[in-house]
Structures are given as structure tokens and as C-alpha cells.
Amino acid sequence: MLRRHFDRDFKLHAVQLLERSDLPLVQVARSLGIHDSMLRRWRNQVRASGSSVFDEAGRVERSEVVQLRRKNRHLERELEMVKKTLGSLERLEQ
């Protein structure tokens, strides 16, 4: 299944159309040919972060945050393993 990509202008237009319309979200999404959960996510992102959420810089920054969180979890697991190993060695020395 191919993933469709929508540019910044389309996303903002969709959210603006939803905000200005008296129609339900599902109906607006259907008229645009997109899934309602996608339009809901875009609306929530704009409400939380403003229209800059769809800029390239914002996407790169979010990607970096995800990568750093993943690396942080990995390092925390490694640290726990080192602590357990050191604890085992200390008990053996006693």
C-alpha cells in the first residue's frame, strides 16, 4: 500500500476548512478524500503548535527528538545492566 504525502498547504487548507465549516469532521475529511483520523491529527497539531507544525524545520526537529528519546532509553537500559553487573561483582568480592 502506497503512503500518500500531503504538503503543508493542503494540511493547513484542510484544517481551515474544518474550522470554518459547520460540517462534521468526518464529512469534511471524506470530501477531501482523506481519513478522518488524519484530519483530526492535523487539527490537533495545529491547535497545539500553530501552523508552523507542518514546516520542514518542525518535522526535522520532531524527528530528532524521537531519535534522542530512543537513544536515551537504550542508554538507560545499558546503565541498568552495568549497575547490576557491578552489584554482582561486589557481592562476589565479599
Residue 75 has pLDDT above 90, yes or no: yes
Q: What is the pLDDT of residue 57?
A: 66
Q: Does residue 5 come out as left (phi exceeding 0), alpha (psi in the -120 to 50 range) or beta?
A: beta
Query: Measured between alpha carbons, how far is 44 from 64 in angstroms, rounded to an integer?
Result: 21
pTM of this structure = 0.58
Between 20 and 66, the higher pLDDT residue:
20
Residue 58 has pLDDT above 90, yes or no: no
Q: How far is CA 52 from the centre of its chain?
A: 14
